[in-house]
A and B are shown apart, each in its own frame.
Chain A
């Protein structure tokens, strides 16, 4: 805690002041300036080490020399670990992948006193808000038919910042407007509030809560264990990302409701943990009943036609979509028709989710010199980057188990994280038939 240091240091320094000479005065001012720096706890030169941890970027090689860590290989190794984990979790149980693609998620943001701590820079609250924004965008990118709502906890109470909805911009705007923290955190109040809202959603939707928890305690009006059981009964999957340390009640909550509990080490780790919640979780039959949902696929209105849109209640020229059932005009897709309640989507929105169902198989690492008698391709099939290394060290490469084409590491990451197509398999007739 820096607070104690702040209180003592200025009083010690001020005792030396009070001499009459001008030069002395100027000197004192300098002193005070330095004291201000000290008041923040550490000197500038110290801070460079304490915050940046520059020694962590270095690594000793076999001969004892210091070298910068080869981040590219490291990043790739981490990514492969994640990928393999994901594919083994999804593919081993059922041959056909079922994912909860229609999600109703409440993000609970802890804005209690603990969120003003500055162990994350500039403060936990600012870091949480920044990453939550990135998360919401990524979430809608990966789950185009899902809905998100925001809830904040402060002063021992839970408030709903936004109604559950499908537009990322509205959510982010509401979050950025309400960034102040005070009081205690109450996990129970937040859960009760979410429980109330999520009990209204249709049965095919997956109910989820993601809590970004800064505090180490919870200040509850009643028995939180009962609330946990109620959430479990309502099939709400609760996940918590802690920013300080592991807390028993959070762990208990996640274990009971089938969520995940993780505690972040630093900002980049926090970001990583948060983004792990963006891809849809595997569908669990008891959690949401499979159902056929009636949906409308509206056509884009002709250019130059004036009509009144139902979402903003104003006349607009051109663009917009027309609900096929009640012919009312809406501005954006996906949405729910304001008049007849029909879910309106466009076929690209549905197609955006299809890659979760047909994932690209993880690529195999190729031994550096190949099997004896095998000639390795000299270039990456995807980007034509030369895979022949200069000198002794060969460039790492991977190959697709289906089409046996070789790829560089960057293409490997791009193909699995963003493209979701194997260029080799797509360039073959056999795979398509």
Chain B
């Protein structure tokens, strides 16, 4: 009797850390309004919690100038009775999100008026919310041997911010090391190279729904299943990941280039001095063919 539940607990109880993109610049122009988007996401969270009573969901908002925890089912369950849960949960999430978006835009405007209006397509802080999610998951790992299986679900609409590249990649590698898959659901118009790599490297699912009207169906069919059951499903396969590098000097995508031996910066043509680390290259480029001759 005692052993059976523990088995279940490890197999199909999951901890889903969902990262919601709350970028106002994106949602203002999106085909699906934010309020309707929430009408897809909140029932999805509810259904995750109903699938297994040991499931846990944590919601983190990804803003343009801050990131924050919105909802934690582990904390909510302890002080609310299970009966009137669904309604309270829904209104709680929406209220917290409203607060967050308000605070976020206040930070964005800053103390000296709105200096951000000049900046065009602004990205949201994916690296921050990924880092928060990973810290939270580490806490679950520390909590003992019988923890739910964690995974991260990014629901992202705004374009990638190139300045976050290093931080996002760091998060991806850390997730890979602790075997946490990063699922991504793209609600924007263009593919996200960051999340394509994230899902490919960590073994998660990457999907860009064709019709956003049916977002709930996509979420429920693809992202609701626990990691164990995924082995038996035919989930969308990655369509191909672009692993080509972009050079530091012109941001061009290249398939043959030069790499600084000290800091590994990528350049599309030969330079005298590395612009990242300042080392000077004294000899001609080392092409691997000259090395072959030396052998």
Q: Say yes or no: is A120 at the interface (Cβ < 8 Å to chain B).
A: no
The reply to whether B64 and A297 form a contact with Cβ atoms under 8 Å apart is no
Chain B residues with CB under 8 Å of A336's CB are: 288
Q: Which residues of B lie under 8 Å from residue A384 when comparing CB positions?
A: 69, 72, 136, 139
Contact with B along A279-293 (1 / 0, CB 8 A): 000010000111111
Q: How far is the CA of A292 from the CA of B265 in the complex (A)?
A: 9
In the complex, which residues of chain A have a beta carbon less than 8 angstroms from the beta carbon of B81?
Answer: none
Give the CA-CA distance A345 to B246 in the complex, in Å. Answer: 13
Do B135 and A352 have beta carbons less than 8 Å apart? no
Contacts of A380 in B (CB 8 A): 135
A101 to B263, CA, bound (A): 7
- Chain B 96-132 interface mask (CB, 8 Å, partner A; 1/0): 0000000000011000000000000000010111011
* List of B residues within 8 angstroms of A324 by Cβ: 255-256
B132 contacts A290, C-beta separation under 8 Å: no
CB of B131 within 8 A of CB of A421, answer yes
Q: How many residues of A contact B (CB 8 A)?
A: 72
**CB of A190 closer than 8 Å to a CB of B:** no
Output the nearest chain B residue to A102 by Cβ-Cβ distance: B261
Binary CB contact string for chain A from 282 to 319 against chain B (1 if under 8 A, 0 otherwise): 01000011111111111110110000000000000000
State which residues 357-374 of A face B: CB under 8 Å: 357-358
Instruction: Looking at the assembled complex, report how far the CB atom of A2 sits from the nearest CB atom of chain B, in whole angstroms.
Output: 38
B214 adjacent to chain A (CB < 8 Å): no
Taking a contact as CB atoms under 8 Å apart, the answer to whether A427 and B267 are in contact is no
The DSSP consensus for interface residues of chain A is loop
| Bound-state Cα–Cα, A414 to B282, Å | 39
A296 to B132, CA, bound (A): 35
Q: How many whole Å from B132's CB to the nearest CB in chain A?
A: 5
Given A292-B270, A355-B170, are A347 and B261 also a contact pair (CB < 8 Å)? no
Q: Which one of B66, B274, B287 lies within 8 Å of A428 (CB-CB)?
A: B66
Check if A200 sits within 8 Å of B294, measured CB to CB.
yes
B263/A351 in contact, CB under 8 A: no
Shortest Cβ distance from A95 into B: residue: B278
Does B33 interact with chain A (Cβ within 8 Å)? Answer: no
**In the complex, B161 has a CB within 8 A of chain A:** yes
Q: Are B281 and A414 in contact (CB under 8 A)?
A: no
Q: Chain A 331-361 against B: per-residue CB contact (8 Å), 1 yes, 0 no?
A: 0000011001111011110111111011000
A294 touches B170 (CB 8 A): no
| A interface footprint on B229-262 (CB within 8 Å = 1, 0 otherwise) | 0000000010011111110000000111111111
- Determine how close the nearest CB of chain B comes to the CB of A117; give it in whole angstroms: 35
Contact B142 A410 (CB under 8 A): yes
Let me know if A295 and B243 touch, CB within 8 A: no
Against B, the Cβ 8 Å flags (1 = close, 0 = not) of A159-176 are 000000000000000000
- Report the Cα distance A351→B266, complex, angstroms: 11
B243 and A299 form a contact (CB under 8 A) = yes
In the complex, the answer to whether A141 meets B259 with C-beta atoms within 8 Å is: no
| Cross-chain contact B244 with A350 (CB below 8 angstroms) | no
| B174 in contact (CB, < 8 A) | yes
CB of A183 within 8 Å of the partner chain: no
CA distance A92 to B78 in the complex (A): 50
Is A342 a contact of B261 with CB atoms below 8 Å?
Answer: no
Contact A383 B136 (CB under 8 A): yes
**Residues in chain B near residue A229, CB distance under 8 A:** none
Q: A260 to chain B: closest CB distance in Å?
A: 21
Q: Smallest CB–CB gap between A122 and chain B, Å?
A: 27
| Distance, CA A57 to CA B294, complexed state (A) | 57
Chain A residue contacts of B291, Cβ below 8 A? 202, 341
Task: Give every chain A residue within 8 A of B255 (Cβ-Cβ).
Answer: 296-299, 324
Within 8 A of B (CB), among A180-201: 200
Measured CB to CB, the nearest residue on chain A to B255 is A324
A346 and B135 alpha carbons, distance in the complex (Å): 27
CB distance from B21 to the nearest CB of A (A): 14
Q: Is the CB of A383 within 8 A of B264?
A: no
Which of B64, B132, B261, B263 is the most central at the interface, judged by chain A CB atoms within 10 Å of its CB?
A: B261
A299 touches B244 (CB 8 A): yes
Contacting A426 at CB < 8 Å: which of B108, B127, B270, B279? B127
Cα A384 to Cα B132 with chains together (Å): 9
Q: Which residues of A contact B30 (CB under 8 A)?
A: none
B169 near A429 with CB under 8 A, answer no
A290 and B281 contacting across the interface, CB-CB below 8 Å: yes
Once A426-B131, A427-B125 are accepted as A-B contacts, the answer to whether A354 and B169 lie under 8 Å apart by CB is yes
B-to-A contact residues, CB < 8 Å: 64-69, 72, 107-108, 125, 127-129, 131-132, 134-136, 138-139, 142, 161, 163-167, 169-174, 177-178, 197, 201, 237, 240-246, 254-264, 266-267, 270-271, 274, 276-283, 285-289, 291-292, 294-295
Contact surface of A with B, Cβ cutoff 8 Å: 96-102, 141, 145, 200, 202-205, 283, 288-300, 302-303, 324-325, 336-337, 340-343, 345-348, 350-355, 357-358, 380-385, 410-411, 414-415, 418-423, 426-429, 432-433
7 closest A-B pairs by CB: A382-B135, A427-B128, A290-B279, A204-B261, A426-B128, A423-B131, A383-B139
Can you offer 27 A-B residue contacts whose CB atoms are under 8 A? A203-B283, A288-B261, A289-B282, A290-B261, A292-B274, A293-B260, A293-B261, A294-B259, A295-B256, A299-B243, A303-B237, A337-B288, A341-B289, A348-B173, A348-B201, A351-B166, A351-B169, A355-B170, A358-B166, A414-B135, A415-B131, A420-B174, A423-B135, A426-B128, A427-B66, A428-B65, A429-B108
Given contacts A204-B261, A348-B173, A427-B125, 15 further A-B contacts (CB under 8 A): A98-B262, A101-B264, A292-B271, A293-B260, A294-B286, A300-B243, A347-B245, A382-B132, A383-B136, A414-B138, A419-B135, A419-B171, A426-B125, A427-B131, A432-B164
